Structure 1
Amino acid sequence: MAAYRLTGALRGCESGDVWIADGVITRTRPPGPVEDVPGVAYPGLVDAHAHPGLSHTAAPAGDAEVLRRLETARAAGVTAIREMGAQRDVAGLAAPGRPKVLRAGRHIARYKRYIRHLAVDVEPADLAGEALRQAARGDGWVKVVGDWIDRSEGADSDLRPLWPREALAEAVAAAHDAGARVALHAFAVETVDDALEAGVDCIEHGSGMTRDQMVEAAARGVLVDPTVCQVATFADIASRAGRYPVYRRRMLDMHARRVERLALMVEAGTLFLMGTDTDGGDPTRTLPVEISAAVAAGMPAGVAMAAASYAGRRRLGLPAWQEGAPGDVVVYAADPEEEIAEVARPSRVFVDGVPVSGNADGAPGTLGGRSST
């Protein structure tokens, strides 16, 4: 296996030379020929909210489609994915050269309170037991849907929490006892209150958070994935909610305040992750698109890149520049923290120490994990 020396800036690395050899990171020069790799290097990007095994029908996603999604992500510099709920268990598709997937089992929701086909539907009394079942299917995460529109109230229908706070707290405690962390889908401000009191580990979206809630989340070490591109669709969602004027107003308000709210998150010292909230296969909604959208909305580029790379990896318990860590690295010819558009143009992507590309024709560098040289 070829060896490489990263000769440019190493983001998130305090000091020292770094090589990639025998598939891993090393601080010791390997024997034999070494190829110099110039450019600004980061530990491989992490899409912290994606669904490569998801299907919007009763039929599961097939192997070819899951691999296409993983390939699209990898071509964008993503070497790890935290899967936030999916019907298909993608563990059987793990292989060298493919992005690593941290699974969370399936979404847990209530009947008629989430998107059809996606979730396991339970009542509050069964939430803790289901959290344990999904923890057993995952890699240290459980995904719970915290709120959704309750259409039973007619014109007064609005976002409502799915769970009594006590039931949510019991489920979080059960997951923690099983060694798993809990990520909660939370749009509404009321749901965030429940999330913080229940002890969840990560808030997905957080589109209704107040500044006080942001400060409290940071103080408790609660991670937040703002899914900027997803929140930007709220106006479109509201446009289709004519029968539910209260819900429509709420979605429009969160959409209108999304830039202000992101600035407050930055000011509050939020522990950010960066995620696309997609199945990973849409080239118009890749992680670089999400990062660029966050920066356009006011998040400092350094904060966004850290959350998508070395800081996000640390928050998720993934290795970065440590000796012996997988050789998962993304390199840019120009500094994305100076010009964020560069994040969409990686010059080299290494997975397990192998330079890879987005080729889809079976040539070297495809998801089989072979070298592109």
Structure 2
Amino acid sequence: MSNSNNTTYIVDLRSDTVTKPTKAMKHAMVNSALGDDVYGEDPTVNALESKVATLLGKQAALFVPSGTMANLIAVMVHCNKRGSEAFAGHLSHIYKYEQGGASHLGGVLLSTLQNKPDGTFEIAELKKRLRGSDLHDPISSMVAIENTHNVCGGKVLPQDWVDELGEFCTDHGLALHMDGARLLDAAAYSGCPAARLVRPCHSVSICFSKGLSAPVGSALAGSYHFIEQARRMRKMLGGGMRQAGVVAAAAVVALDEVAPQLHYSHKRARVLATTIQGLFLPTFSVDVSGLHTNIVLVRVAANSPLLAEVVLQRLAQVCLAETQGDCKTPNDEGVIVKAVCFDSKTIRFTLHHDINDEDLWLAIMKIIYVFKELDAANPFNINNK
């Protein structure tokens, strides 16, 4: 949700993790039935796990503190011999943003495959890379994919490709894990039930605090045997919680209340992307045709000296001209827009449940103002206008 203080109105588009719990979530948390989850006695956690298993078409599920832990547990269960090999895309969350936990904590070699812009990779390349027949090799044991794919701009993986990869993994004795932190965004975009999207996968994780407004928590789903082993790993990693129904209650509400509304964030993301594209500024570009869900990636021209970090710094500033010009807010206050850099030339704006139409309008006005200002001041554009 956007915040205001005495001088500025803040629209936070850094991530869909900055949301606050809804009123219904807070009510459910206060009134949740509780027990000791390590003993399997928390009724709210049990209800959530059953709900997730049904949603994903798997036999069982496990509530865990975070998506990073869920993915790590999946790797450690599927690669239960130290020195095993797991494959993931070079732009995947497991490889880029989880501190190499699979190697550090699980003794698993993470090998990367080149992600394409749509989040996929070449299955033929995976086939060439498989190892284990030679005693010098690690044993290739699993493959991890990500849906939606964060760094590729919230892309939904092509289902034909997921099905083909699943068949390949089954034929070659590999486990297939899906990092589905934003899986329900993929379901909302594709119109396919989540269970269908993950049918070829042996395990899948989903996150309740990315886009679903819950304060904390993820879930891991798979077969009865997989979850039995995952429960042991969770305990070893310190993820065994006691009266965890306090937070699981919010996750239950998230699935019922917020998940059906994800398409609104997708629509707002498209409005933002289309507006930026319609500015026709040489310095900034956005691939509207490739926009699937709630993540908008803005590219700064490669041959421009401008860096994404500078753009973010300017979006976080308010100058006098803004508050006196056409871009002023109804309260004559300046607007700050928060976003993140993926690299030196890429800015990510993420729409979420706490952003309403007024927030979007204020963010667009600010972005238009700043982008035009930076484009006009960019020496790169002097000879291109």
Q: After TM superposition, is the score higher than 0.5? A: no
In the superposition, the TM-score normalised over structure 1's length comes to 0.30
In the superposition, the TM-score normalised over structure 2's length comes to 0.29
Q: Which has the larger radius of gyration?
A: 2
Structure number with greater CO (CA < 8 Å, separation at least 6) is 2
Q: Which is richer in helix?
A: 2
